[in-house]
Amino acid sequence: MNDEARKSLSIGIVCYPTHGGSGVVACELAHGLAAKGHTVHVVSYAVPARLDTLRRGIHFHSVRVPDYPLFEYPPYSLALAARLAEVIDEFNLDILHVHYAIPHAISGWLAKKMTGRNNLPLITTLHGTDITIVGNDPSYLTVTQYSLKKSNAVTVVSKWLGEQVHMHLDCQCETVVVPNFVDTEIYKPDKKWHLKDRLCNTKPIIMHMSNFRPVKRINDVVDTFLRVRKEVPAKLIMIGDGPERASAERKLKESPFASDVQFLGVHNSAEEILACADIFLLPSVAESFGLAALEAMACGVPVVGANVGGLPEVVEDGVSGFLLPAEDVLGMAKACLSLLTDSALLKKMKKVARKSAEKDFQQSVVIDRYEKMYRETIENISSSGA
Ligand code: GMT
């Protein structure tokens, strides 16, 4: 390896700070890159939930969006572009990697133009709804198409999402699949018995973790659990929070099994809780990848979920879990019951789930891929004399 290839990089990462999968991936990537000796500058409007700003090599830069009575919609995209331009200049970034296309990709491109750093590589990682819902909306379609064309590389978190880019955006841009990843040293089947005890030590645990948006079908999680609970003793643990929580709680009020359901709220280090589960339930109607399912699998928890989007690229039906048609609550309940009434099958699937997370989605391997892509993109741009 020559000196240039070994040089540590100054990397800009842009993401949403909220509890969404794209922010989690961006932060874990930032941690992994910093651990490899790079300096990572994370830019967002608040410190992302998973970002550890105390780690060596991690810097956070906040975007301030001033309010003014004239604006019904304060222009975040412009405030972000201006902040990015400052960070590019001040820290002499070697590469800018944005997560979630809207508005990050276009703000990144604008920042390049503003600083005159036309050769600064811009990488855009697409996460799902930035293409299938938001990017696809006529209001954002052309700007999304344009910003992808202007990115030096576009990555997608699953093969399925790559297909959606071509279908929804009718765009010729090349996409590279770089799957999401998990740190299997942190997410592992290491039960903390005091925690298991507190959650429930006498019944198997079914778990769900998400931001409780309508796409996650929180009521299907509850309905599936109630069907299972009618047949066997079990407990449902819900991690996260969001708009669908209230309706799920209302539904439970009418059930004799309400006391078997516990809402824990948002947890930043969910790994210890996930390791206490026997089944992870993910009945979403759309999921470009399903990071929470992968984190559960790494903890040795098989997944029962919907056969949608990129989820089959993470969970192998009948092997590391069961995938049923979306909204098939009955089918999902039967799948859970087949696991809870057959301890040999459950044990086998737990093992396979962990193995598959280790084999196909190892954090160090995926971070190396991103790093290689950064270096290749820098090299290609500099050798093309752009
Ligand atoms: O839907 C979410 O949970 C948030 C969203 C995001 O972009 O923050 O998640 C998407 O990206 C995650 C990380 O790549 C994927 O694991 C999720 O499957 C994907 N969500 C959807 O496609 C609905």
Runs of H (alpha helix) within 104-177: 104-115, 129-132, 138-150, 159-169
What residue has token string 């300096």?
39
Q: Which residues pair with 60 in a beta bridge?
A: 42
| pLDDT of 239 over the 90 cut | yes
| pLDDT of 95 over the 70 cut | yes
pLDDT at 137: 87
Q: What is the CATH number of domain 193-360?
A: 3.40.50.2000
Distance between start and end Cα atoms, the chain: 24
Q: Does 19 sit in the ligand 1 pocket, CB within 6 Å?
A: no
CA dihedral 152, 153, 154, 155 (to 10 degrees): -160
Cα–ligand 1 centroid distance for 220 (angstroms): 19
Going by CA atoms, what residue is nearest to atom 13 of ligand 1? Answer: 21
Higher pLDDT, 84 or 267: 84
pLDDT at 120: 98
Q: Which residues contact 323 (CB under 8 A, 6 or more apart)?
A: 304, 305, 306, 307, 311, 312, 315, 317
pLDDT at 139: 92
Q: Does 286 sit in the ligand 1 pocket, CB within 6 Å?
A: yes
Q: Could you identify the atom of ligand 1 that is nearest to the CA of residue 294?
A: 16
pLDDT at 169: 87
Grade residue 6 by pLDDT with cuts at 50, 70 and 90: confident
Grade residue 227 by pLDDT with cuts at 50, 70 and 90: very high
Which of 43-52, 157-166, 192-201, 316-325 has the lowest average pLDDT? 192-201
Is the bond preceding 103 in cis, omega lying within 30 degrees of 0? Answer: yes
| pLDDT of 223 over the 60 cut | yes
Cα–Cα separations (whole angstroms), residue 120 to 41, 99, 112, 125 = 15, 17, 7, 16
With H, G, I as helix, E, B as strand and everything else as coil, classify residue 324: strand
57 CB-side CA count, 13 A: 18
Cα–ligand 1 centroid distance for 336 (angstroms): 24
What residue has token string 């133009």?
113
Across the chain, mean pLDDT equals: 94
| pLDDT of 3 over the 80 cut | no
Grade residue 5 by pLDDT with cuts at 50, 70 and 90: low
pLDDT per residue as tens digits for the range 369-378: 999 999 999 9
Going by CA atoms, what residue is nearest to atom 4 of ligand 1? Answer: 20
pLDDT per residue as tens digits for the range 289-308: 999 999 999 999 999 999 99
Note whether 3-181+362-384 and 193-360 share their fold.
yes
| pLDDT of 386 over the 80 cut | no
Distance (Å, whole) CA 23 – CA 127: 10
Higher pLDDT, 313 or 131: 313
Higher pLDDT, 268 or 69: 69
- Domain residue extents for the chain: 3-181+362-384, 193-360
Distance (Å, whole) CA 186 – CA 355: 15
pLDDT at 201: 80
Going by CA atoms, what residue is nearest to atom 2 of ligand 1? Answer: 20
**Which pTM value belongs to this model?**
0.95
Q: Which residues contact 282 (CB under 8 A, 6 or more apart)?
A: 208, 210, 216, 290, 292, 293, 303, 304, 305, 306, 311
Which of 90, 24, 23 shows the shortest CA–CA distance to 61?
90
Q: Does 240 sit in the ligand 1 pocket, CB within 6 Å?
A: no
pLDDT per residue as tens digits for the range 180-219: 999 999 999 987 878 888 888 889 999 999 999 999 999 9
DSSP string of 289-300, one letter each residue: S-HHHHHHHHTT
Burial of 273 (0-12, 13-18, 19+ CB in 10 A): buried
Grade residue 244 by pLDDT with cuts at 50, 70 and 90: very high
Residue 340, token pair as written in the block: 């809870």
Task: Check if the beta carbon of residue 341 is closer than 8 Å to that of residue 232.
Answer: yes
Q: Does 291 sit in the ligand 1 pocket, CB within 6 Å?
A: yes
By percentage, how much of the chain surpasses pLDDT 70?
98
Secondary-structure percent of the chain, ordered helix, strand, coil, rounded to 5: 45, 15, 40
Cα–ligand 1 centroid distance for 286 (angstroms): 9
Other C-beta atoms closer than 10 Å to the C-beta of 386 total 10
Residue spans of beta strands (DSSP E) within 193-313: 205-210, 235-240, 261-265, 279-282, 303-306
Which of 213-217, 267-271, 351-355 has the lowest average pLDDT? 267-271
Asked if the 3-181+362-384 domain carries CATH number 3.40.50.300, the reply is no
By percentage, how much of the chain surpasses pLDDT 90?
86
